Structure 1
């Protein structure tokens, strides 16, 4: 588990294709690696990856086909900057929100403009994720815990303060930038609970729709 509070910015050193999946190496001089052991989890742009080697200034991880299909990892190349966070420890402060590191899908920056000393961004989420994004709710963007300021269909707004712009890769974002999105875990579990017995139906037929909510008394 993670908090969405970025510890350092690193960069991709190498990506090696191996029988369809990828082995990558990440380096960061801005983060201490003394307390990281083989098998530990590192959130890299919000993707939970397992350290399989520790060269001293970063880590090496294998990325599965499933992860490549759901995230922006396939777009990375040597020199790509990434947000890094080590896994949450019991004594750590939960400064952001509960983040699993399991990316739900990819979004895209639609607009960026200055807003006093902050920057205002409009992000477009995939249609299937829009229902989980709420006004003043939490969302993880490339591993960073952020507050949603406005929602309009599949688009949501973020206001990023100077500190976050400097300490993460968000300052690099421009219209067209692809990014990893993880919705609030509570929203995902709530949907599953509301489905009740229908959640056990096979074939992917059970889903939270307006008609389902009306039929089960959640809407009037």
Structure 2
């Protein structure tokens, strides 16, 4: 379980394919605090640490994860938003994030709003995911508040701190991003679809 509050950025050092899996080696300022078998969210994708060497650690992604996320597009040198799993008793500063990406979205607009930025994303509405105005959304692992909610599109406002301390500063129109919709909203939506 995560909160969507990014701790640091990691840098992809190596990507190695093995059958249908990929092994991703990351360089990170939190590596010395990690343990083998620990969960870390990478752009919102919960992955397990399988190896640690110096300042680098390795995680493995299976084919299903690769297909449902933007992991397959990562390249050496890419910056990735990192968050370790929350501790019981910690403050929940973002919202409840599972680290299970629902689908990939596409950045369709970036607007400089005189001190902040408005990013607009589109997603495939046929997968039955929804956003609501002022509800929560996770974009590449970042907990955000939805503005301008539409059937297959929404926007988020990014403050300078978030812009500087996450990989939002690298998003351009056309960028593929990981989306995890609000878990409470997903359960409510599912209950209504059963009736």
TM bracket (short chain)? over 0.9
Q: Counterpart in 1 of 2:67? A: 69
Separation of aligned partners in 1, 2:54 and 2:4: 24
Residue 127 of structure 1: which of 125, 128, 133 is its match? Answer: 125
2:96 pairs with 1:103? no
Question: Is residue 129–residue 183 contact of structure 1 (8 Å, CA) maintained in 2?
Answer: no
TM-score computed with the length of structure 2 as normaliser: 0.95
Separation of aligned partners in 2, 1:128 and 1:134: 16
2:18 pairs with 1:15? no
Separation of aligned partners in 1, 2:104 and 2:73: 11
Question: Is residue 131–residue 150 contact of structure 2 (8 Å, CA) maintained in 1?
Answer: no
Pairs aligned (count): 195
Q: What aligned pairs does 1:3-42 form with structure 2 within 5 A after superposition?
A: 3-29=3-29, 32-42=30-40
Separation of aligned partners in 1, 2:102 and 2:25: 23
Question: Is residue 138–residue 184 contact of structure 1 (8 Å, CA) maintained in 2?
Answer: yes
Separation of aligned partners in 2, 1:118 and 1:27: 29
Q: Secondary structure at the match of 1:122?
A: strand
The structure with higher relative contact order (CA 8 Å, sep 6+) is 2
Question: Is residue 9–residue 79 contact of structure 2 (8 Å, CA) maintained in 1?
Answer: yes
Q: Counterpart in 2 of 1:51? A: 49
Separation of aligned partners in 2, 1:192 and 1:106: 20
Moved over 4 A (4+): none
Question: Is residue 2–residue 86 contact of structure 1 (8 Å, CA) maintained in 2?
Answer: yes
Separation of aligned partners in 2, 1:194 and 1:152: 19
Q: Secondary structure at the match of 2:52?
A: coil
Q: Counterpart in 1 of 2:86? A: 88
How far has the Cα of 1:64 moved from its partner? 0.3
> What is the RMSD computed on CA atoms of the aligned residues?
1.4
Q: Counterpart in 2 of 1:158? A: 156
Separation of aligned partners in 2, 1:69 and 1:36: 27
Question: Is residue 12–residue 24 contact of structure 2 (8 Å, CA) maintained in 1?
Answer: yes
TM-score computed with the length of structure 1 as normaliser: 0.84
Q: Counterpart in 1 of 2:165? A: 167
Instruction: Please tell me whether Structure 1 or Structure 2 has the larger radius of gyration of its CA atoms.
Output: 1
2:114 pairs with 1:116? yes
Q: Secondary structure at the match of 2:31?
A: coil
Q: Counterpart in 2 of 1:201? A: none
